[in-house]
Amino acid sequence: MDYFLELCLGGLTRGSIYALIALGYTMVYGIIQLINFAHGEIYMIAAFIALIVSAILTINGFTGVSILIIAAVIAILYAAAYGYTLERVAYRPLRNAPRLSPLISAIGMSLFLQNYVLLAQTPDFLPFPELLPEFEFMDPVAHLIGSAELVILVVTTVTMLGLTFLIRSTRLGKAMRATQQDMTMARLVGINVDRVISLTFVLGSVLAAIGGVLVGSYMGQINFFIGFMAGVKAFTAAVLGGIGSIPGAVLGGVVLGLTEALAAGYISSAYEDVFAFGVLILILVLRPNGLLGRTVRTKV
């Protein structure tokens, strides 16, 4: 039983990271029906920025949580700038082009960013400092979950609650929902749709950056390719939950994380990806629009 719980908590941790990144895919898709293939690269770049910043801070005598916070904030700002620029440079000029064009542009940006980091850094894995704080727990919990996992779970949960609040109740959130439901009408009520799209990319990038810092620190090493794998998994989670649906992205991430953890724990970690994609295929056969996806809206 303890083993099962331990696997579940591990799966939840992993899944919460997938969810965080999946939200970026799903928010962008919801608004402009584009699969932003370069999203995983934003996550990877944020991890690199955090690595560089924490190295500089360590040399200058900073310690402990202050490094984590400063590195995370700078990584988030960088990622936001990258997300904003990405949309301006690679997608906005193609807003009225056939749908295949921005998709190709997205793949191009993904390859470009990967290779740019490859050249600027190194193809090898670089060690990532342990930024997440270590602490002791009371016993019933201590052998089920580590402090790093707990930090990840808490940070991702708080982040997602914050996002939910933002989308439900703020002016920007309402503008995002209106733009998603009917872009022309959004313009007719006075929403600056271009700005909403930019901010959606920024928001998705911020979430990816939080994920990048957490995972870098948790796994202890990063290279230029981590964004690709994380992107594939998060994209799977988004499709699993129903692309375009925000609760769907969270649910999809959790389902994917749990599936992988249980498959790895009871069968073999060599097969975790097989099970992950098996679940994806199964769910898409049963529910083609994903777990929480809506059937395509018919225009009145």
Partner 1 sequence: MLELRNVSTFYGPIQALKGISLSVATGEIVTLIGANGAGKSTTLLSISGVAPPKRGEILFEGSPIHTLPAEKIVSLGVAQVPEGRRIFPQMSVRENLEMGAYLRRDNAGVARDVEKVCELFPVLAQRRQQLGGTLSGGEQQMLAIGRALMARPRLLLLDEPSLGLAPLVIRQIFATLQQLNREEGMTIFLIEQNAHQALKIAHRGYVIENGVLTLSDKAQTLLDHPDVRRAYLGG
Q: Provide the binding-site residues for partner 1, judged by CB under 8 A.
A: 171, 174-175, 177-178, 181-182, 184-185, 187-192, 297, 299-300
Neighbours of 34 (CB within 10 A): 20
Consecutive H or E run containing 110: helix 100-120
For residues 136 and 299, which CB has a smaller minimum distance to partner 1 in the complex?
299
Distances (CA, A) of 31 to 62, 185, 187, 198, 297: 41, 13, 13, 11, 14
**CB of residue 192 to partner 1, shortest distance in Å:** 5
Task: Provide the minimum distance between the beta carbon of 104 and partner 1 in the complex, in angstroms, as a whole number.
Answer: 22
Specify burial of residue 113 (Cβ count, 10 A radius: 0-12, 13-18, 19+). buried
Q: Read off the tokens for 289.
A: 């629009």
Nearer to partner 1, 95 or 177 (CB): 177
Distance CA 216, CA 128 (A): 6
Q: Which is nearer to partner 1, 59 or 300 (CB)?
A: 300
Q: Which helix (H) or strand (E) holds 79?
A: helix 64-86
Tally of CB atoms within 10 A around 212:
33
- The residue count for the chain: 300
Of residues 143 and 168, the one with the C-beta less far from partner 1: 168
- Both tokens of residue 66? 């202050």
Closest approach of Cβ 208 to partner 1, in Å? 26
Q: How far apart are alpha carbons 163 and 192 in whole angstroms?
A: 21
Nearer to partner 1, 41 or 87 (CB): 87
Closest distance to partner 1 from the beta carbon of 189 (Å): 5
Q: How far is the CB of 238 from partner 1 (least distance, A)?
A: 19
